[in-house]
Amino acid sequence: MDTIINISRNRNTYVIDLDTGKHITAYLEEPFRIVGVSGKELSSRPKQISERIGDAFFGAVLGHRDLIYREYADRIISLPDISIKVKVFTLECLYFYDWAIDTLPAWKNVLAVLRKWNTNPDNLPNVGRLKDLVERELTANVLEQYGLVRFASLIPPSLRPYIKSCKAFRSALRSAANDRFAEPQAKVKELFNVDEAELFMLFGISFRRYNAEAEIREVCRKMSRIVEILDRLEITDYKIENINRAHADLEARYNVEITDAENRKFAKAQTSHNLFYENDRYYTRVPLTRDECAKIGNHFHNCVNSFEWRTYLRNGERHLVVVCDKVTDEMLVCVDIDSDNLTINQFYGDYNAPIHNDELCDFRSDYQKHLRNANQQ
């Protein structure tokens, strides 16, 4: 196969110069035609260039998918300071991998990466989606700029754009990468004029080893959570000035939002049936908030505010009531009820102890009849 040494364009006419001194001309006006090295019109791809490169070039510039590809191809071809090797490689990426308009990166970023590749055109990456390659190169530049290259594998791809756009995240990563114990440890050794082994033998002092990888992961965990909460709460104008403070603040906001939403759902479920019942001695108290459930769980020393809440109550899959003494208002029995058929699942006292008191057992039987009647209405 011949080697392409240049591609030039004049409006809709493209000329591919080969290392043999010959050239191929493509006229991209209707009717589309290609004139080969012999000067004759061709009915298929020129044989002088490889199938992959030929398809890449003609596929990219033909515009049979979308004009934006034609525009990108034209821009790449027209760059005066980029080698033909880089141009052909970029056209391959453009044609073979970028099939949707929204996958094309911003042109200014493409140009920056092409110029970087052009400094070493014999060491190009493997062909891939142009957007992915551009993002990878730009991220590598940022990581190198801020001394984070050795931690690249620890930073999730989804967070890498924030290294440049979020100063607080960048600062937290750089701080985590540096051993904050090194300076004080050095001062201690200097003070006693001994090495670490002697320091331990003489004074029982040992140094904690700084784990930069663990610190980086923790910063990334908090940043991921920040991004997640901002997205869930649809907050677009939040300014992150410090990762730890932002993480704590947003977690608190999120918990308030989630608790409010869960309380509304719980209250709706708790009032969807008539759960109240009383006789001469006892009555049922119907909680409507998680705070009430927390007090109930603490009183009975059970899982109402933990497992029960997470698994059933907040989703409306179970009802919860408490049997109370009419005279003292003391909470005596914690009652778990299936929300579908209103069957009493659990009727327990303190520490999930079974109830043996005859009056309370009678109350359970009567209360179950009440629930069945309520379910039939």
**Per-residue pLDDT tens over the stretch 289-313:** 999 999 999 999 999 999 999 999 9
Last residue of a domain, one of 125, 145, 171: 125
Which has the higher per-residue pLDDT, 205 or 20? 20
Last residue of a domain, one of 84, 102, 125: 125
The predicted structure's pLDDT at residue 17: 82
Which has the higher per-residue pLDDT, 367 or 62? 367
pLDDT at residue 148 tops 90: no
Mean pLDDT over 323-332 rounds to 97
Last residue of a domain, one of 125, 158, 187: 125
Query: How far, in Å, CA of 320 to CA of 128, rounded?
Result: 56
Lowest mean pLDDT, pick from 21-25, 166-170, 202-206: 202-206
Total number of domains constituting the chain: 2
Range of the domain at 92: 4-125
pTM here is: 0.56
Which tens digit of pLDDT belongs to each residue from 46-85? 776 665 566 656 655 554 445 566 777 788 888 888 888 8
Q: Is residue 202 part of a domain?
A: no
Q: Is residue 213 part of a domain?
A: no
Question: Among positive and negative, which fits the CA dihedral 33, 35, 36, 39?
Answer: positive
User: Which residues does 357 contact at the CB level (< 8 Å), separation at least 6?
Assistant: none
pLDDT band at 143 (very low <50, low <70, confident <90, very high): confident
User: Which residues does 345 contact at the CB level (< 8 Å), separation at least 6?
Assistant: 318, 336, 337, 338
Which has the higher per-residue pLDDT, 88 or 100? 88
* 44-50: Cβ within 8 A, 24+ apart: 46/16, 48/1, 48/2, 48/18, 48/20, 48/22, 48/24, 49/1, 49/2, 49/4, 49/16, 49/18, 49/24, 50/1
The predicted structure's pLDDT at residue 13: 82
Mean pLDDT over 152-156 rounds to 87
Contact yes or no for 334/295 (Cβ under 8 A): no
The predicted structure's pLDDT at residue 375: 67
Task: Report which of 42, 75, 80 is spatially closest to residue 60, judged by C-alpha positions.
Answer: 75
Q: Is residue 287 part of a domain?
A: yes
Q: Is residue 82 part of a domain?
A: yes
The predicted structure's pLDDT at residue 38: 82
Which tens digit of pLDDT belongs to each residue from 94-140? 776 655 555 678 888 889 999 999 999 999 998 888 888 888 888 88
By residue count, the chain amounts to 377
The predicted structure's pLDDT at residue 65: 47
Contact yes or no for 104/24 (Cβ under 8 A): no
Contact yes or no for 274/250 (Cβ under 8 A): no
pLDDT at residue 1 tops 80: no
